[in-house]
Amino acid sequence: MGNIVYDWVAHHCENGGVFILPPSHYLIMYISLAAEKIIEIGPIAITNTILVTWVVVLLLSLSAGFATRKMKQIPAGAQNIWEFVVEAILGMVENVTSDRKKAEKILPIAATFFIFILTANWMGLIPGFETIGFWKIEEGHKVLVPFFRPPASDLNTTLALAIISVISIQVFGFGYLGFKYIKKFVNFKGPIEFFVGILETISEFAKIISFAYRLFGNVFAGGVLLAVVSSLIPYVVAVPFYGLELFVGFVQALVFAMLTTVFVHLATLSHAEHSETH
Amino acid sequence: MEALGIDFKLFLGQIINFLILLFILWRFAYRPVLKMLNDRREKIADSLENAKRIEENLAESEQKTREAIRNAQIESEKMIENAKKLAVEQRAEIIEIAKTQAGKETEKAKLAIAQEKNQASIELKKEMAQLVGLATEKILAKKADSDLQTQAINEAIEELK
């Protein structure tokens, strides 16, 4: 049966058709580390991860706009959900900062990380997500180019998020401490302080790498795992893996948001306070 | 970099996408929701305080009512007590008055009786004097004259006096 379907796919593909097929029906599995390009608009190539990012941004914006269009003292429906989400994240941030004012300032960046990454990751688990696409000949093999791919399985996305996170850490640190914050990195008090400053600088860059690769690695690996399991045994067996990926998607979103919160909080503490808390 | 799919344009695009989302969520989710949460928090705190105040007021007014009732009770008891005392006093006074009145009446009666007795004795004496006069006249009619008679009578009356 597999062969028949394969022929059918091959036939239509040569005519430039588009197919919706479970992954088990194509036997050559092509895993691309880079996000696949779908269309090119002038000099900008739109990849499937960018497309999904747009969908996520649009969905979240519409949901938020709809939920808070008419705010009521007694919440209902979408307003309730958003209030729950915001309050829960605010609670977590407040746990870290133990200062509501500061928590309210960190909330937008931490909550957006959490909500965006969680939505993007879970959207990748919708059936057909990485299996609806078009066929393309690449290096002599016929490969499926999916229309949708989880944004976090693209290094561009995770690097972008990591850069934003690290920059916001610096902004908060400078905003709270002023030029004292810069002393953390550039310090001529003595050779030890100078060397510590260099280490601190390196660690900020290391944060970018660790943020970007942790998220990318987890989500990409999850996608590959699901693809492999589904192509081996297409029915039932993949279900627990989907559960696992739901969990991983949540944990990664939480880790990204929480780490950002903790780093921002640490950056806003002066050296005296810093040593006090340890 | 090429193999990892890192492309500066896409990277920049994702930064912009995220910042757009951040702005939209800040504008339409975090800001209104935080405002609402804080408002509600304030409102709840206010209402709790109000409830506390109302309860306090209620307790206070209850206390006042109870006090007023107790005061009224004490007052009425005092009034009854006073009235009783007054009644007893008045009774004693009335009895006293009655007694003195009775004493006076008795005295008066006694006086009247004494007067009557006096009168009677005076009248009796007069009658007696007449009688004695008559008797003496009868006896002396034969033995003395009228001058002697009157002299004797006068002497007798003088003696009687």
C-alpha distances in Å from residue A52, one per residue of A32, A147, A168, A197, A234 = 17, 9, 24, 40, 25
The number of domains in chain A is 1
Contact A64 B15 (CB under 8 A): no
pLDDT for A11 equals: 36
Contacting residues of A for B24, CB less than 8 Å apart: 57, 60-61, 64-65
Contact A61 B24 (CB under 8 A): yes
Q: Would you say residue A139 lies in a domain?
A: no
Which residues on neighbouring strands pair with residue A46, listed in sequence order?
A39
Q: Give the residue numbers spanning the domain of A171.
A: 46-130+151-277
Which residues on neighbouring strands pair with residue A18, listed in sequence order?
A134
Q: Would you say residue A13 lies in a domain?
A: no
What is the spatial distance between Cα A136 and Cα A127, in angstroms, rounded to a whole number? 21
B22: nearest CB among A56, A104, A108: A108
A–B CB contacts, 8 A cutoff, strictly below: 122
In A, residues 160-189, which contact B (CB 8 Å cutoff)?
A: 160-161, 163-164
* End-to-end C-alpha distance for chain B, whole angstroms: 174
Contact A86 B30 (CB under 8 A): yes
Q: Which residue of A has its CA nearest to B8?
A: A156
The ipTM is 0.81
pLDDT for B157 equals: 81
B5: nearest CB among A61, A64, A154: A154
The count of other CB atoms within 10 Å of the CB of residue A40 is 9
Instruction: Please tell me if residue B26 touches chain A, with a CB cutoff of 8 Å.
Output: yes
What is the spatial distance between Cα A12 and Cα B16, in angstroms, rounded to a whole number? 38
Per-residue pLDDT of chain B (161 residues; tens, 9 = 90+): 666 778 888 889 899 999 999 999 999 888 988 888 888 889 999 999 999 999 999 999 999 999 999 999 999 999 999 999 999 999 999 999 999 999 999 999 999 999 999 998 888 888 888 888 888 777 766 666 667 767 777 888 888 77
Contact A73 B36 (CB under 8 A): yes
Q: Would you say residue A35 lies in a domain?
A: no
Sign of CA dihedral A238, A242, A247, A252: positive
Q: Are β-strands A141-146 and A44-47 bridged in parallel, bridged antiparallel, or unpaired?
A: unpaired
Does residue A14 register a pLDDT over 70?
no
**Tokens representing A250?**
């949540």
Going by pLDDT thresholds of 50, 70 and 90, the confidence category of residue A198 is: very high
What is the spatial distance between Cα A272 and Cα A46, in angstroms, rounded to a whole number? 48
Q: Would you say residue A28 lies in a domain?
A: no
A38-96 per-position pLDDT tens digit = 777 777 788 888 889 999 999 999 998 888 888 777 777 888 889 899 999 999 999 99
A68: nearest CB among B6, B18, B29: B29
What is the spatial distance between Cα B4 and Cα B2, in angstroms, rounded to a whole number? 5
C-alpha distances in Å from residue B136, one per residue of B82, B125, B127 = 78, 15, 14
Q: Which residue of A has its CA nearest to B9?
A: A44
